[in-house]
């Protein structure tokens, strides 16, 4: 049986160590092994031993002021051993500056001021939150759902991405590996590397499933419970999730429809540093999971793996067509379908997509490229985050940008992090001209100011801009030349608006249909603004419904 995950407390002051150990045992002893160490070196020894045995550490709670090795020095050394463990520093008031610095340096999750009494108020809420996040991202080695597929199978990548983004724990096995062969044997024969097989704990087996088949098998809801809703929200990114939270909490019968996985683009982000209220940052999957839980708890119904394919007016109602042919009626609609990645149009990119060339999948795939050279293409924040995230696993990260630098295009905190990483190499004034490889990406050709350069790359993560997901709307609402939805004062008679009142701020050219987040013409492409617009849209939905 797998060992319980560990919580490791470290303090050189014996009475303080005993007291933190006691408080941790009292709350977490049933589910975690609480271990204690009296110094940094002793803690590292325990960390190495657990890592050798393959036992996970969920949480480090470490005093900053220790002789021999400070808490921050210890966390820095422990980081490569257990990169997914949560890290908490116990500090005195005077150490606050050092702790804030450590948020960047050693990915510190929280710092707590000593003493932490009463623990029910000053210790447990913080640790509960961190451990919930850790559990959500933890994949127990030999339990749960298993996926057997070739490493380079594009559909295998699609399933990994779908499971990760829907927060479904799984273990992935290559059919040529020991465990993959054993599972193939249990399935009465070899597994074709290009045809993924998903095995469930209860013995069910799905061969080459679609996302919808997977969603059904996992128990995600794929069919609407009602024929009619007050509000249908299309897209469960930050804007859609926020709209669902406010709509459901304000008593509207709400359906949220998502084609892929909750969280949208934000769900693919390894670290969000600029979202208010999370001083240590949080991962996109944590934000998505929290938003989804909140929307569900407040009463929103959520359909997964269902794509909205059309929208039309039916007198005073609006009809939403799903791509499986079903139709839903509602009073109002919020479109929050965001944007999607632009594809790189160079030789080899299409053939190797999902076989080493990935669009926005750095959080899912980067871990598979341990000790290999990878490339990140793009100069915006998403490329910067992917470079920082990949640097934790890859031997070398080549960051390719077309401009002369990244200072003007990337947030300063990311530029600083990238500069501090020894294994990230910035290539400026460069463009990828080709990808090459037999059945997976092996190398890229790059145009540089000094002539063409050929580089070995095991993976390339591409972030070169985005386009709105609005083709499905046809002429139902007015869009700008780039496909973004016009709203509020941008909508006029020329777009078919013929009501006595002006359109509400986020209202499209079709009354009662609102747009929020990145999909909207001239929106600010940020998580906080998408959340803000999702929340605001509900105010206008209420005003629209009041006039009906």
Binding site for ligand FAD (CB under 6 A): 234-240, 257-260, 264-266, 268-269, 272-274, 307-308, 336-339, 360, 381-382, 385, 469, 472, 517-519, 525-528, 530
Question: CA 468, CA 445: separation in Å to the nearest integer?
Answer: 29
Check: CB of residue 537 under 8 Å from CB of residue 512: no
Evaluate the CA torsion angle 150, 153, 157, 160 in order and state its sign: negative
Does residue 245 sit in helix, strand or coil? helix
Question: CA 283, CA 450: separation in Å to the nearest integer?
Answer: 38
Question: CA 303, CA 236: separation in Å to the nearest integer?
Answer: 10
User: Closer to ligand FAD at the Cβ: 59 or 374?
Assistant: 374
Check: CB of residue 17 under 8 Å from CB of residue 9: yes
Check: CB of residue 7 under 8 Å from CB of residue 33: yes
CB of 52 to ligand FAD, least distance (A): 34
CB of 476 to ligand FAD, least distance (A): 12
In the chain, the N- to C-terminal Cα span, in Å, equals 61
Which ranges in 64-123 belong to alpha helices (H)? 71-78, 96-105, 119-122
Tracing tokens 């990119």 back to the chain, one arrives at 349
Check: CB of residue 380 under 8 Å from CB of residue 507: no
User: Closer to ligand FAD at the Cβ: 230 or 307?
Assistant: 307
SS3 sequence, 271-314? CECCCCCCCCCECHHHHHHHHHHHHHHCCCEEECCCCEEEEEEE
Question: CA 348, CA 443: separation in Å to the nearest integer?
Answer: 10
User: Closer to ligand FAD at the Cβ: 71 or 235?
Assistant: 235
CB of 87 to ligand FAD, least distance (A): 20
- Burial degree of 378 (CB within 10 A; 0-12, 13-18, 19+): buried
Question: CA 255, CA 252: separation in Å to the nearest integer?
Answer: 9
User: Closer to ligand FAD at the Cβ: 356 or 360?
Assistant: 360
For 24, 90, 166, 319, 452, the CA distances from 17, given in Å and listed in that order, are 11, 11, 39, 62, 59
DSSP assignment of 408-433: TTS-HHHHHHHHH-TTEEEE-S-EEE
> Which residue's Cβ lies closest to ligand FAD?
338
User: Closer to ligand FAD at the Cβ: 149 or 211?
Assistant: 211
User: Closer to ligand FAD at the Cβ: 152 or 461?
Assistant: 461
What is the DSSP code (8-state) at residue 170?
E
User: Closer to ligand FAD at the Cβ: 101 or 274?
Assistant: 274
CB of 310 to ligand FAD, least distance (A): 9
CB of 503 to ligand FAD, least distance (A): 19
CB of 300 to ligand FAD, least distance (A): 14
Sheet of 451-456, strands arranged across = 431-436, 443-448, 451-456
User: Closer to ligand FAD at the Cβ: 197 or 519?
Assistant: 519
Question: CA 381, CA 266: separation in Å to the nearest integer?
Answer: 12
User: Closer to ligand FAD at the Cβ: 28 or 461?
Assistant: 461
CB of 440 to ligand FAD, least distance (A): 23
Question: CA 218, CA 519: separation in Å to the nearest integer?
Answer: 30
Question: CA 350, CA 352: separation in Å to the nearest integer?
Answer: 6
User: Closer to ligand FAD at the Cβ: 237 or 356?
Assistant: 237
User: Closer to ligand FAD at the Cβ: 173 or 259?
Assistant: 259
CB of 535 to ligand FAD, least distance (A): 12
Phi and psi dihedrals of 462, rounded to 5?
A: -105, 125
User: Closer to ligand FAD at the Cβ: 184 or 387?
Assistant: 387
């Amino acid at each position: 049986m797998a060992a319980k995950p560990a919580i490791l407390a470290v303090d050189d002051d014996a009475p303080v160590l005993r007291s933190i150990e006691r408080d941790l045992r009292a709350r977490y002893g049933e589910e975690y092994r609480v271990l204690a160490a009296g110094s940094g070196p002793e803690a590292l020894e325990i960390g190495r031993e657990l890592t050798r045995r393959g036992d996970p550490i969920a949480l480090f709670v470490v005093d900053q002021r220790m002789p021999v090795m400070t808490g921050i020095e210890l966390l820095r050394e422990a980081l490569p051993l257990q990169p997914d463990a949560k890290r908490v520093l116990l500090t005195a008031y005077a150490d606050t500056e050092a702790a804030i610095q450590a948020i960047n340096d050693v990915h510190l999750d929280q710092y707590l001021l000593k003493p932490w009494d009463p623990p029910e108020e000053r210790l447990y809420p913080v640790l509960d939150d961190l451990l919930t996040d850790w559990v959500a991202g933890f994949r127990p080695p030999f339990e749960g759902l298993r996926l057997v597929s070739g490493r380079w199978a594009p559909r295998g990548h699609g399933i990994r991405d779908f499971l990760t983004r829907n927060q479904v724990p799984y273990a992935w096995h290559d059919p040529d590996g020991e465990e993959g062969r054993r599972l193939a044997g249990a399935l009465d024969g070899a597994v074709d590397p290009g045809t993924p097989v998903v095995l469930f704990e209860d013995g069910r087996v799905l061969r080459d499933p679609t996302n919808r088949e997977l969603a059904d098998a996992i128990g995600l809801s794929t069919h609407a419970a009602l024929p009619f809703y007050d509000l249908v929200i299309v897209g469960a990114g930050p804007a859609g999730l926020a709209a669902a939270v406010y709509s459901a909490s304000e008593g509207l019968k709400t359906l949220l429809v998502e084609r892929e996985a909750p969280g949208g683009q934000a769900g693919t982000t390894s670290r969000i540093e600029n979202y208010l209220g999370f001083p240590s940052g949080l991962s996109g999957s944590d934000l998505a999971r929290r938003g989804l839980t909140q929307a569900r708890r407040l009463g929103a119904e959520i359909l997964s793996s269902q794509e909205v394919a059309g929208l039309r007016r039916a007198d005073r109602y609006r009809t939403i067509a799903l791509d499986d042919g079903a139709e839903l009626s509602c009073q109002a609609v919020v479109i929050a379908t965001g944007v999607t990645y632009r594809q790189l149009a160079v030789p080899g990119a299409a053939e190797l997509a999902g076989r080493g060339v990935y669009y926005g999948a750095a959080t899912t795939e980067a871990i598979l490229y341990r000790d290999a050279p990878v490339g990140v293409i793009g100069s915006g924040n998403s490329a910067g985050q992917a470079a920082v995230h990949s640097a934790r696993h890859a031997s070398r990260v080549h960051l390719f940008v077309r401009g002369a630098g990244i200072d003007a295009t990337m947030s300063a905190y990311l530029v600083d992090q990238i500069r501090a990483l020894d294994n990230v190499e910035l290539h400026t004034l460069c463009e990828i001209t080709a990808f090459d490889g037999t059945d997976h990406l092996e190398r890229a050709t790059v145009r540089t100011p000094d002539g063409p350069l050929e580089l070995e790359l095991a993976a390339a993560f591409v972030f070169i801009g985005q386009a709105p997901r609005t083709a499905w709307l046809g002429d139902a609402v007015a869009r700008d030349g780039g496909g973004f939805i016009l709203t509020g004062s941008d909508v006029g008679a020329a777009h078919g608006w013929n009501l006595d009142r002006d359109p509400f701020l986020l209202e499209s050219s079709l009354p009662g249909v609102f747009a929020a987040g990145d999909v909207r013409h001239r929106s600010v492409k940020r998580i906080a603004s998408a959340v803000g617009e999702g929340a605001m849209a509900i105010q206008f939905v209420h005003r629209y419904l009041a006039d009906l």
